[in-house]
Amino acid sequence: DAEITQSPRHKITETGRQVTLACHQTWNHNNMFWYRQDLGHGLRLIHYSYGVQDTNKGEVSDGYSVSRSNTEDLPLTLESAASSQTSVYFCASREDRGDEQFFGPGTRLTVL
């Protein structure tokens, strides 16, 4: 069965370190998204991609970057982790001209 996976599921890191969160989907969807979820804010869009080599900034992109070298993967990198980036991160994918986004199980990141 097709799926979307995230790794690691939990990560603790220190302020200033570079961190990369992985997202892998096997639906062959062109559209992929990264969100962060914080209490009181719901799901906020960080970055998104509509295809290989395409990346776009979402509403809370500062301090984050993504790259899209193939259809299946959209890794999210925190260049220099900050305590304000402690959150739960969700990756999602969606087919072209589709409305349903399929979410991964999430990565809980703690920055000390």
For the chain, the residue count is 112
- Look up residue 100 and give its two tokens: 């349903």
CB of 62 to another protein, least distance (A): 16
**Residues forming the site for another protein (CB under 8 A):** 33, 35, 40-43, 45, 48, 58-59, 90, 92, 94, 97, 99-101, 103-106
CB of 54 to another protein, least distance (A): 13
Distance CA 4, CA 84 (A): 26
Distance CA 24, CA 63 (A): 22
Measured from the CB atom, is 1 or 40 closer to another protein? 40
Measured from the CB atom, is 27 or 103 closer to another protein? 103
Measured from the CB atom, is 31 or 85 closer to another protein? 31
CB of 80 to another protein, least distance (A): 27
The residues, any chain, with a CB within 8 Å of residue 46's CB and separated by 6 or more, are 34, 35, 36, 58, 60, 61, 64, 66, 76, 89
